[in-house]
Amino acid sequence: MFGPGFQGIVLGNIVEKGFAAEDFVPSNMKEKIIAILTEAWKLQVPVELTVPEIDQFGHFSTNVAMRLAKERGVAPLDLARELAAVAERASPAGMFQKIEPAAPGFVNLWLADGTVQKEFAAAAADGQFGFNNSITGKTVMVEYTDPNPFKLFHIGHLMSNTIGESLARLAEAAHATVRRANYYGDVGLHIAKSLWGMRQLAAEMPADAAEPGAKMAFLGKAYAFGSKAYDEQPAAKDEIVAINKKVYERSDADLNALYDKGLAWSLAYFETVYQRLGTKFDDYLPESSVGDEGVKLVRSRPDIFKESDGAVVFPGEAYGLHTRVFINSQGLPTYEAKELGLNKKKFELYPLDRSLIVTGNEVKDYFNVLLKAMELVLPDVAAKTVHKPHGMLRLPGGKMSSRTGDVITAEALLDQIKEELAKRVSERSTLDGDERALATERLAVASVKYSILKQHPGQDIVFDFEKSLSFEGDSGPYLQYAYARLRNIIRKADEQLGAETVRAALRAFDASRLGDPVELALMRRIIEFPDVVMTAQERFAPSGIATYLFRLAVTANKFYETVPVLKDEDERRRGARLALADMAARTIARALGLLGIATLEKI
């Protein structure tokens, strides 16, 4: 699931990289069906099932006949007819309503109502519903966010943080021990540029008692000032290069004091952002702690790394890549060497089964070179390391650059969204001041996170304010609203019937009382959840959870709007409908949790 080593098929899900096949145990409806069909058809190829969006094409569908028809020399539809007939005879009695072939060569399957009801009842009784034991006992480190001190936490960091946090939660949902790691650049030329700028702008420096945001704004301005001088003023460039060396050596007391101040300001500010985003890191790994080890690794392998104009490089062209400097002409480690030291350190700190690194696409080529060098120098580490690149997050206004000071910070974006949402919430809500503040904060974070996670991780995203903040479309607020509506049913039931009566109904409901087409559709959607989670885990793709969540919310809202619950005079059916509303809410909450999005009881 998390890296090189497994090239097989896991019950129809093609896994690019992962642990051993025996780690995976069928635990959901799709896998049960795949196991039945694989046995009935005696196939040596994987049976892949999809869930059609329209019921007329089945609750599940497979194109295995089209994949086999050519090698068997038969028409796909004829083979689909044969396979459908065999599956009909071999499947457990009463499991399917029908199994039918369809042009040009699909086999479509519809679950019997009794099967749906039985599976839903089991799901509702499962306190770990949706989670699995696929990597129980494994240790996974996810490294993500990685903002550099002395520079602003910009909207690009939201991509890494949001995706990395979700991947960490998906690994936890497979019962792995997860370490969240944050690797930050506390040394390097960007630090030297910032320190030079801080000295030049000393008159503007905030007091230690100033707000974290004011301190960070000053550091961002100092970095932009130093970067501009480095590019345009030869004398300033020489001074910055000298500062860079002194920072590594810790050889200048005044410079050390300025550096320590800026570093403390940066790290304290970052924590305020992480708190807003719902992230808490286990390990902070500064560049300064891994540079020396990186240099040792490089210098210990002259057969791999070569001297070039006073520097030491990795000749990537020999491997179809490009050459990169690992030790510069001053004898200092570059990012590349420090990354080697970092990845060695990770595996010294913990017995990792997988190390997952989340970064932007812009360093994809750099990581290709790094991973090749790592493969040669640290083969055991490389075999367990996966790089997951993501696209860029942009606003309609276009690009940004911390070098020029043209930066859109994550905090500014969240505050702007929160301000707009406050207007929308006030138009539709009776929440008091504290409740409204909590609601707008969580809605703002959900707006950003969901807009990121509903896209494939490798895609660039232009944040659409109107769509992302809407309560009526494919958005974070829409999902939170769907959850709040379902929870409102349970709250009203507690008020009208008594909390103990409702709890008893939820514990002892009769799923056979749920026969309305909308109820059956919602139950089917709920029991898809475990397979959706496992697929997202296998593919490192939280987007699958997001897609599922929207479909679940649409179905749940239809149930809310068309099926009477509290007004139902049939006590047993009312109890079952309450259980369905409760389980739909719990599933939405659990899926939102995997995306790192908090729920709201009221909006």
CATH classification of the domain holding 502: 1.10.730.10
Q: Check which CATH number belongs to the domain holding 76 and give it.
A: 3.30.1360.70
- CA angle centred on 593, ends 587 and 596, rounded to 5°: 155
* Percent of the chain's residues with pLDDT above 90: 83
Predicted confidence (pLDDT) at residue 24 exceeds the cutoff of 70: no
User: Dihedrals φ, ψ of 397, to 5°?
Assistant: -70, -20
42: left (phi over 0), alpha (psi -120 to 50) or beta: left
Residue 566 lies in a domain: yes
Predicted confidence (pLDDT) at residue 254 exceeds the cutoff of 50: yes
**Per-residue pLDDT tens over the stretch 282-315:** 999 999 999 999 999 999 999 999 999 999 999 9
Cβ proximity of 589 and 601 under 8 Å: no
- Which residues span the domain enclosing 62? 9-111
Looking at residue 31, its pLDDT comes to 87
DSSP state of 115: H
Looking at residue 397, its pLDDT comes to 64
Give mean pLDDT, residues 387-416: 76
- At 494, the pLDDT band (50, 70, 90 cuts) reads very high
- At 542, the pLDDT band (50, 70, 90 cuts) reads very high
**Per-residue pLDDT tens over the stretch 129-172:** 999 999 999 999 999 999 999 998 999 899 999 999 999 999 99
* Percent of the chain's residues with pLDDT above 70: 93
**Cis link prior to 104 (omega < 30° from 0)?**
yes
Residue 517 lies in a domain: yes
Q: Which of 512 and 395 is assigned the larger pLDDT?
A: 512
- The residue from 89, 111, 133 where one domain ends is 111
Give mean pLDDT, residues 496-500: 96
Q: Is 395 exposed, middle or buried (0-12, 13-18, 19+ CB in 10 A)?
A: middle
Residue 50 lies in a domain: yes
Say what the pTM is. 0.90
**Per-residue pLDDT tens over the stretch 109-118:** 999 999 999 9
Looking at residue 13, its pLDDT comes to 29
- At 210, the pLDDT band (50, 70, 90 cuts) reads very high
Q: Measured between alpha carbons, how far apart are the two ends of the chain, in Å?
A: 38
Cβ proximity of 598 and 446 under 8 Å: yes
Query: What total number of domains does the chain contain?
Result: 2
Predicted confidence (pLDDT) at residue 177 exceeds the cutoff of 90: yes
Retrieve residue 352's tokens: 């990792």
Looking at residue 4, its pLDDT comes to 26
**Per-residue pLDDT tens over the stretch 67-79:** 999 889 999 999 9
Predicted confidence (pLDDT) at residue 186 exceeds the cutoff of 60: yes
Q: DSSP 3-state assignment of 110?
A: strand
Predicted confidence (pLDDT) at residue 14 exceeds the cutoff of 70: no
Looking at residue 281, its pLDDT comes to 98
**Per-residue pLDDT tens over the stretch 556-568:** 999 999 999 999 9
Residue 365 lies in a domain: no
User: Dihedrals φ, ψ of 312, to 5°?
Assistant: -120, 125
Mean pLDDT rounded to a whole number for the chain: 91
DSSP state of 59: S
Nearest to 353, CA basis, from 5, 45, 594? 5
Residue 80 lies in a domain: yes
- At 459, the pLDDT band (50, 70, 90 cuts) reads confident
Residue 202 lies in a domain: no
- The residue from 111, 137, 169 where one domain ends is 111
Nearest to 183, CA basis, from 141, 122, 230? 141
Nearest to 336, CA basis, from 309, 279, 380, 297? 297
Spatial separation of the C-alpha atoms in residues 403 and 406, rounded to whole Å: 8
Predicted confidence (pLDDT) at residue 329 exceeds the cutoff of 50: yes
- The residue from 47, 80, 111 where one domain ends is 111
Give mean pLDDT, residues 274-286: 97
β-pairing verdict for 306-308 and 311-314 = antiparallel
**Per-residue pLDDT tens over the stretch 31-81:** 899 999 999 999 888 999 999 988 899 999 999 999 999 889 999 999 999
- At 253, the pLDDT band (50, 70, 90 cuts) reads very high
Residue 443 lies in a domain: yes
Task: Average the pLDDT over each of 194-208, 251-265, 455-469 and give the range with the smallest value.
Answer: 455-469
Residue 94 lies in a domain: yes
User: Dihedrals φ, ψ of 402, to 5°?
Assistant: -70, -20
Predicted confidence (pLDDT) at residue 399 exceeds the cutoff of 60: no
Looking at residue 54, its pLDDT comes to 87
Predicted confidence (pLDDT) at residue 7 exceeds the cutoff of 50: no
Q: DSSP 3-state assignment of 81?
A: helix
